[in-house]
Amino acid sequence: MSKTTIKNPILWADIPDVDPIRVGDTYYMVSTSMHVMPGCPIMKSKDLLNWEIVNYVYDILEDNDSHNLMNGKNIYGKGSWAASLREHKGLYYVCFSSNDMQRFYIFRTDDIEKGKWQRSVINGIFHDPSLLFDEERVFVIYGNGDIFITELTADVTGIKPDGLNQLLLETKREGIGLRCEGCHAYKINGYYYLLFIEWPLHGNQRRREVCYRSTELLGPYERKIVLDDNMDYCNHGVAQGGIIDTTDQSWYALLFQDHDAVGRIPFVLPVRWVNDWPMMGIDGKAPEHFEVDLPYTPSNPLVISDDFDYKENQLALNWQWNHNPDHRFWSVTVREGFLRLTTGNVVNSVLEARNTLTQRTEGPACKGSVRIDLSNMKPGDHAGLIALQNTFGTVGIQVNTNGEKNVIMCINNGEGFEQRIEKVPYVYNWIDLKIEFNFENSLDKAHFFYSIDGETWNKIGCTLEMKYTLDHFMGYRIGLFNYASQETGGYADFDYFHYEKSIVGNDKPVR
């Protein structure tokens, strides 16, 4: 069998809280998606290195003001957290909690790649849950510090009446700032294994991966640190995730590491069983590269260019909306070869704008550009590109009350509204816009440009000092937006979105 060289990180993009499974010779994983829709991306791989999006668990999670970005409400940093993915007897299950809804969601399907997911809802928060199928019983194990176990019905749609529902174990307290969370539960060779992330207050003070194990479901459990390494990056520990085996019984872990503005990025590590403990890495270190006995299998890229040449009004899976979209006000078919964003409500800020269409950014550097037809924008409209996080930056066209256009570059003024850094009068009906991102060594800077012809670029505004903040809890995304501040009904037509992932200091794309 040919081998694949794993090079960490496997994806230099925001794919946090990864949970992998293997079905036959195919690997799947789910990750946190919070406030972007559709949500809970399902990614697929044959070699553990190359991953592509094949499905989402839901199109929208809830239909209310907060999820719809209406009446000043939002779910930034909320929505779906830390999903668990499992396969059992030909059915696939995903579960997670939503802090804003105070609910626990369970979805299931018989076709993980193409199928629709059936949904069940349980009131209450099951923090960072993990499903565990144990013979004919199914449990959810969850919590932060104090870890609980609740038995579910056989069809995994609700809590089993009179079933097991209790405190399972109390994880270490002394010298720990963030006690164990992010549970991943397994039953392997007669042991129950619970994997967690924790954050010590003393010593190196970085997050690490911890394992609790027992031969009995209800314990007692013993504990071991199975990985404590930061790959020499900012003392950010590689931790939180799951383990999977291959068809030849080799084992690997998928974990993530905080990489500041670009987000939380996934790593693959070898797992060696030592006295029945899953020890991760090589000699206690997370390796930059190593070989796996799996055939190299290229996949579709995570972030794509798009000429918006669609036959149906359905976008590529790489795109996600910021909150729930309003499908009345966007189209890729009403004008062939264009994405049309029509203003449907009046708002005060780009963070309140519905139908902002986003993709992830990628390290070490990347750039995205668009060409927009401005002919049908109305006074007060603002359309363009955004580097999206709480500390955002935008470059775009704003139409004033007299119908005059200006290129403007803005940043968050500290209260979620645009602070205009530079304004340049503009008389044309077409414009090209570009944002360049640099995440190398946590430089975390973005630069903004406009062009009349797409060839000669003019820098505008200031350099954005990108910051990962917990109120959004998501790595920077690049987004296409159009919103109204005075009247609705105007629209901007995006001719294309062009994307490149680059090596820093070299304009040659990686892909």
- The answer to whether 170 touches 148, Cβ cutoff 8 Å, is no
Judge if 201 and 335 occupy the same domain: no
| Residue in the structure block whose two tokens are 């928060």 | 125
Residues 384 and 131: their CA atoms lie apart, in Å, by 42
Judge if 383 and 256 occupy the same domain: no
Per-residue 3-state assignment (H helix, E strand, C coil) for 223-267 = EEEEECCCCCCCCCCCEEEEEEECCCCCEEEEEEEECHHHCEEEE
- Looking at residue 509, its pLDDT comes to 37
- Looking at residue 1, its pLDDT comes to 61
Question: In this structure, is residue 385 part of a structural domain?
Answer: yes
- Looking at residue 34, its pLDDT comes to 96
**pTM metric for this prediction:** 0.96
Q: Which of 339, 493, 486, 343 is nearest to 403 (CA)?
A: 486
Tell me the CATH number at 480: 2.60.120.200
Q: Which of 273, 292, 311 represents a domain boundary (last residue)?
A: 292
Per-residue 3-state assignment (H helix, E strand, C coil) for 358-416 = EEECCCCEEEEEEEEECCCCCCCEEEEEEEECCCCEEEEEEECCCCCEEEEEEEECCCC
- Looking at residue 459, its pLDDT comes to 98
**Amino acid symbol at 329:** F
Q: What is the mean pLDDT of each run of 10 residues along the chain (511 residues)?
A: 92 97 98 97 98 98 98 96 96 97 98 98 97 96 98 98 97 96 97 98 96 98 98 96 96 98 98 98 97 97 98 98 98 98 97 98 98 98 98 98 96 94 98 98 96 96 97 97 98 98 56 35
Question: In this structure, is residue 3 part of a structural domain?
Answer: no
Residues 371 and 337: their CA atoms lie apart, in Å, by 12
Residue 415 CB neighbour total at 10 angstroms = 7
Judge if 265 and 338 occupy the same domain: no
> Which residues have C-beta within 8 Å of that of residue 414, sequence separation ≥ 6?
none
Q: What is the number of structural domains in the chain? A: 2
Judge if 107 and 194 occupy the same domain: yes
- Looking at residue 507, its pLDDT comes to 42
**Sign of the torsion formed by the C-alpha atoms of 178, 150, 256 and 211:** positive
CA-angle at 321, arms to 315 and 325, nearest 5° = 90
